[in-house]
Structure 1
Amino acid sequence: MENVQYTIKTTDVTLRFHFDVNHNDRILIIGKSGVGKSTLLKIIDGNIIPDKGKVVELINKRIFLNPFNDIAYINQTPYIFSASIMENITLFDNKVDYHKVQKILNEVNLNSFSKEKLEDIKLEKNGISVSEGQKQKIEIARALFSHKSLILADEITANLDRNNAKKIRDLLFRIPNPVIEVAHHFNENDRRYTKVFRLDADGSLKRIR
């Protein structure tokens, strides 16, 4: 991200940030509610065009000026389709290797589903038939299946209890892809993050670790 600036119209606050993302990075951005953390992720994702600067992604030592097709976005509230578990993960791709999906399910601790269950169990819209933790795991499995180079995680533990929040965050650290996560706060004793930034109310992004 190179000298990016964007003014949030509703607050008239200008976000200003510049940082690099390396292949092994686990980046955390903390900040209070309403300071623009989700907006920052949407700029990186390409859903919002910055007023100044550009988003550049380095992949395999090549620079792509339009990296947005290579980014997976995990929302705070996962969207679950009224479809099978398999279809929710693969987004209705009919040419899927079951063993590939099963490997991903093992990574996200959803390995209790047989092939038949993956294809036959229908989830209700918005996932009311599964727990919040399971919904997040399905969303993460979907991101892994997409084979994107960068994963953005937007307050993904905000709706979970402490136990499930820890499990989901531990899962993020096992993902081989670089991850940028935003949250309200973090455990200062958790040394697994490679970079930690704080987004302040004035729109400035400061590295604090």
Structure 2
Amino acid sequence: MVANFDEDVERVISPSKLAHVVLRTNNLENMVTFYKTFLGAKVIYENEMLAFLSYDEEHHRIAILGVPGTQAKQQTTCGLEHIAFTFSSLTDLLLSYRQRKQKGIPPLWPVNHGPTTSIYYKDPDGNMIETQVDNFDDPDAATEFMKSKHFSENPIGADFDPEEWIEQLTAGKPENELKVRKEVGPRGLPDFF
């Protein structure tokens, strides 16, 4: 069957996956070291201006491009807010949090958004990174939560203490109980945005 390349459509074809993110920097060596550590990644290719990193079967998930003359990131300008990486379980999310902490990478913001439980970080250039776990087993259930009164009232979420959650998991509390968002009422963005 030959595609109809001239057909009028309401919606374009969606991509099959997000392949990679490229970050521009004036701090190549530190950025490469950070992402190798942060993602448990390996460098697939690197030279004096470019590095390709992967943490899975893809040939690269993150590319870092060192461009002379690149200015430092300014928090108040338009641009990509953050990139997010999903873990398969709350235990893995919290284990990676502890491992990063041991490597000198502190979290910026642990928050249960409702659809996800997330821990945010900043890289050496000030780019934000979200690590997350889905709180619902079914994407439709997450979508329904996002249509709820609670989410409308507070789409940001409720902060949590990863160390307390680790204690509760270690004591036998089930992941699905921890992942239920506590309702804290309306709130705005934290002051680091």
Structure-2-length-normalised TM-score: 0.29
Q: TM (normalized to structure 1)?
A: 0.27
The structure richer in helix per residue is: 1
